[in-house]
Amino acid sequence: MQVEVRVKLKEQVLDPQGEAIRRVLAGLGYAEVGQVRVGKLMLLDVGGDDPGAVRARVEAACREVLANPVIEEFEVRLP
């Protein structure tokens, strides 16, 4: 099944990339856009039929390598 992993900077971590995008948007007239946060979206094709087991494996992979817990948090979405 295709599993979606979303990794984003923690709320308390400054995101200079997001801030740069916000400024560009404001310059283009999108003044209503407040904070912008940039994250990563990873699509993993994972073998196995048991959603619980697949989720546990992918979350383990997130903790081990896909996200850095010092600055990032992750979210795993199953189909």
Partner 1 sequence: MNRPGTGDRGPGTGNSGRGPETPAGGRKRVAVVIFPGSNCDRDALAAVEAAGGEAVPVWHQSADLAGCGAVVLPGGFSYGDYLRAGAMAAHSPVMAAVRRHAAGGGAVLGICNGFQMLLEIGLLPGAMLMNRTLRFICRDVHLRVERDDLPLLKHLRRGHVLRLPIAHKEGNWFAAPDVVRQVEAAGAVALRYCNERGEIGGEANPNGAINAVAGLVNREGNVLGMMPHPERRISALLGGSDGAALIRALVEAA
The residues of the shown chain that bind partner 1, judged by CB under 8 A, are 9, 12-14, 16-17, 20, 65-66, 68, 70-71
Tokens of 28: 């283009």
Q: Which is nearer to partner 1, 10 or 51 (CB)?
A: 10
Q: Minimum distance from CB of 52 to partner 1 (Å)?
A: 26
**Distance (Å, whole) CA 37 – CA 8:** 8
Looking at beta carbons only, is 49 or 64 nearer to partner 1? 64
Backbone angles phi, psi at 6, to 5 degrees: -110, 125
In whole angstroms, the minimum distance from the beta carbon of 44 to partner 1 comes to 13
Whole-angstrom Cα distance, residue 47 to residue 54?
8
